[in-house]
Amino acid sequence: MRILVAVKRVPITGGKMVLSEDAQSIQTRHLGFTISPHEECGVEEAVRIVEAQGGEVVVITLGPAEAEDQLRECMALGADRAIHLVSDEEWDAQATASALLDAIRSEEPFDLIVFGNESADAGNYQVGIRIAYALGLPVVTGLKGLTVADGRARCEQEVAGGRDVYDVPLPAVVTVKEGLNLPRYPSVPAKLRANRKPVDARPVERAAPKLEKLRLVVPEGQGKQAEILGHGPDAAPAVVEVMQKLGVA
Amino acid sequence: MTVLVFVEPDDELSLQAVTLARSLDGEVHGLSIGPAQAPVDVLHVAEIEGTYAPAASAAALVQLIEQLAPTAVVAPGSDRGNEVLAHAAARLDLPMAANVTDVRGDDVTRQRWGGTLLEEARVHAELKLLSAAPFAFPVGSASAPGRVETFVPDLTGADTAVRVVETVGASTGGVALADAKVVVSGGRGVGSSEGFAILEELAALLEGAVGCSRVVTSAGWRPHTDQVGQTGTKVSPDLYIACGISGATQHIAGCKGAKKLLAINDDPEATIFSHADYAVIGNLHEIVPAITAELRKARGG
């Protein structure tokens, strides 16, 4: 089983969005970075499948030189090697799909290609689907359950009132959501091993975006003035009064 | 000029998408798979046999686009809306702007980070593919369409190859988080899995649901199905009670749809208070049981 997982480096945003001076990005000077959460579950799932059935997990990212940290995180979770498409710029979804596609085509075919349902930052909801169409593969999105056996993938999607199940032949593309599993905490030896695993870094040139980011804006509504109902348990009558006013008591 | 909107039956987000479509220039046509109620000028109802097949919905949408030559296609900002629109975008090799809150000519404003940040972007395409950000647009009446026409898409085997083969029941009982009128939600401040008992008691009394922040699910105190946030469930209750939640953007993205937010936190500087309508400062382990007792008293119990 050969599995490719696409991941993205994103900042850990904390409580407040602060923009860079040119409003092109959020200020990250004081922030840490991580793998976009849906995708971390994608890596964990791929590693579990390969641990059980044998094979290889390859991770790929499009991002700045620093994104190597996230590739190492993926390899500490158990991925075998990484492909790093190096670019400092932010790419739109079509150009991202196109660059990933070139890289995928340069490799031996994968049985399963895993994306996050949407990235934490840009939230475009489309790169995995574009890749599936370009490769002529079936695609199922938003997975909260995945079972791979006998050349097929049983895919479970959470919907109102239950789970929708899809059953597709491999090779296939899937996009996953957080909650698919609880990713492991990498051990120290796993982190050390990750430092020795290969990262294939390739420079890439960004095409002109068709969905062109002009600027970022922090939405209004942050900095609300809350009405203080009280301190400690003595506030309970005031809380109940509010509940009655809202018609939920 | 024509605007085409993809609608799903009995879906509030679809009606919000119609509101966005109505704000654009042109006659508003709708496409639904099976009958739906939507206040559009013309509703094209496509009959596709069997269960939901994303590519079949997209094939129908693309064929109707070819027939009507609209200037914009709008879909609801739901999982399915974004999915079908992304399939169409892939088929047409066109850009797609997901979770749009505003359109000005070729420029759109769209949500990033689950709506805690906005992006102004320019669409470089004749045909704009847009999904409407959830709860960014008011819902018009679910009145009948002006005219209903049957649309027969030409589907191939590939279009229907990936489809729902089975729907299995939810494992959790009680009020569904996404539909709850009241959500009592706990964060790191709850301290443990057992600490949620007082939140469950209050939620049960209010016939609401229990939610939690991402910290809580990562710690294994609650299942991920209870997680409210950008990567969990997005809720829109009448009242959201945030207990011991600091207010990270990850969490705010999931609860900003609430009509009112009450925050209970012992840190008066907590970010959550800048998103709250009501605040109680202090120890949630004392405050939550006091609210429960007061509520029982008020009900004469």
pLDDT at A135: 98
Nearest alpha carbon to residue B22 among B47, B4, B36, B35: B4
B251 and B275: one domain?
yes
Q: Do B128 and B195 belong to one domain?
A: no
Residue with tokens 């689907």, as numbered in its chain: A129
CA A153 to chain centre: 20
User: Nearest CA of chain A to the CA of B133: how many Å?
Assistant: 11
Using CA atoms, how far apart are residues A11 and B25, in angstroms rounded to an integer?
38
Quick check: A140 contacting B, CB < 8 Å? yes
The verdict on ipTM greater than 0.90 is yes
**One domain, residues B147 and B208:** no
Residues B88 and B209 occupy one common structural domain: no
Would you state the pLDDT for residue B140?
A: 76
Same domain, B244 and B202: yes
CATH topology of domain A2-223: Rossmann fold (3.40.50)
Shared domain for B184 and B133, answered yes or no, is: no
Identify whether residues B35 and B133 lie together within a single domain. Answer: yes
Cβ atoms of A139 and B163 within 8 Å: the answer is: no
Q: What is the DSSP letter of B272?
A: G
Token reading at B99: 């979770």
CATH code of B194's domain = 3.40.50.1220
Residue B54's domain spans which residues?
A: 2-161
**Domain for residue B187, yes or no?**
yes
Which residue type occupies B261? L
3-state secondary structure at position B200: helix
Chain A closest CA to B295's CA: distance in Å?
A: 6
Determine whether the interchain pair A240/B291 forms a contact, defined as Cβ–Cβ distance below 8 Å.
yes
What are the angstrom distances between the C-alpha of B251 and each of A197, A228, B112, B124, B267? 35, 21, 14, 33, 17
Please tell me the total count of domains within chain B. Answer: 2
> What's the helix, strand, coil split of chain A in %, to 5?
30, 35, 35
Q: How far apart are the first and last CA of chain B?
A: 62
pLDDT of residue B172: 53
User: How far is C-alpha B53 from the chain's CA centre?
Assistant: 20
Q: Which of B161, B193, B215 is the last residue of a domain?
A: B161
DSSP letter for B257, please: T
- Mutation target for A interface from B113, B120, B245, B281: give the one with most A CBs within 10 A: B113
Cis peptide before A171 (omega within 30 of 0): yes
Same domain as B96, residue B46? yes
How does residue A72 score in pLDDT terms, banded at 50, 70 and 90?
very high
Say yes or no: B184 and B76 in one domain.
Answer: no
CB A200, CB B255: distance < 8 Å: no
- Best mutation target among B13, B224, B272 (most A Cβ atoms within 10 Å) is B224
Looking at the domain assignment, is residue B167 inside a domain? no
List the CATH number of the domain containing B152.
3.40.50.620
- Whether residue B266 sits in one domain with residue B130: no
Chain B contact for A227 (CB, 8 A cutoff): yes
Closest Cα of chain A to B230: distance in Å?
Answer: 8
Whether residues B105 and B154 fall in one domain: yes
CB-based contact (8 Å) between A152 and chain B? no
Task: Determine whether the interchain pair A233/B286 forms a contact, defined as Cβ–Cβ distance below 8 Å.
Answer: yes
How many CB pairs (< 8 A) connect A and B?
Answer: 260
Token code pair at residue B54: 């994303």
Cβ contacts (< 8 Å) between A237 and chain B: which residues?
A: 294
**Cβ–Cβ < 8 Å for B284, B262:** no
How far is A217 from A231, CA to CA, in rounded Å? 35
Same domain as B99, residue B40 = yes
Per the domain annotation, does B66 fall within a domain?
A: yes
User: What's residue B142's pLDDT?
Assistant: 65
Residue B35 CB-density burial (10 A; 0-12 exposed, 13-18 middle, 19+ buried): exposed
- pLDDT tens digits along A182-208: 999 999 999 999 999 999 999 999 999
Q: Looking at chain B, which residue has its C-alpha nearest residue A182?
A: B218
**pLDDT average, residue stretch B50-70:** 97
Kindly determine whether residue A162 and residue B118, on different chains, have CB atoms separated by under 8 Å. no
Which of A47-56, B175-184, B234-243, B262-271 is the least confident region? B175-184
Alpha-carbon distance B277 to A246, whole Å?
A: 12
